[in-house]
Structure 1
Amino acid sequence: MTNVSKELLAATSVPLILSVLKRGESYGYELIKEVKEASGGTLQFSDGTLYPILRKLEERELITSEWRIADNEKRRRYYNITNKGKAQLKQEKKNWEFLNNLLGTLWTPKKTSLT
């Protein structure tokens, strides 16, 4: 099992959360569950990590939230991505593709000349 550092998880939290919300509205526990399942159990947000990020995303108008009563009669806060959030996700994807390609290049051994 891969051990992902807290720093890397923090750096990826915005694109991870926005990616989940682009699929449809969700609430906190469901977001945690979806990331955990998609990562094969490797990545898991704690409540203490997730909710401050959600608040910051809402302050930046990348997501909206709304309190509702769920089918089980519990109050839940549902989150949705905004158009601004979709644009941010598009930029995040470009940034991560660039970094992934850069790391792939740097991790590939240099060819040496045999002259």
Structure 2
Amino acid sequence: MREIEAFLVIAPPTFFDKEIKVKLESDYPLSIELLYVKVLQNHLGLYLNVLFTNELLLNPDLIIRTTGAPTKIISYENEIPYITIRNDFSTSDNKHLVQKIKEIMFGNNQN
């Protein structure tokens, strides 16, 4: 029983939620993109069970873009929903982004 209590203390609050696979598309250099993914993971991880991937082969549930146009030649816009965010993403944008992801993934009746 104590092991379960200890696990629940250290586990993130979203541990049992559905995992949402997210692919980031940006025109940043790879080092900046990796830092940006880390920032997004920290922001979104408090509210959603997100896993960031850079592979389309893992069938992401959502694409987050920092540019208005797709950065890849492959067209998958009809298959995978996407969100475009500003380059100057801040913590004030966090709640809006979380809400928009919940609407796309779970419907409009999410809080």
Give TM-score, length-normalised by structure 2.
0.33
Q: Which has the larger helix fraction? A: 1
TM-score normalised by length of structure 1: 0.32
Larger Rg: 1
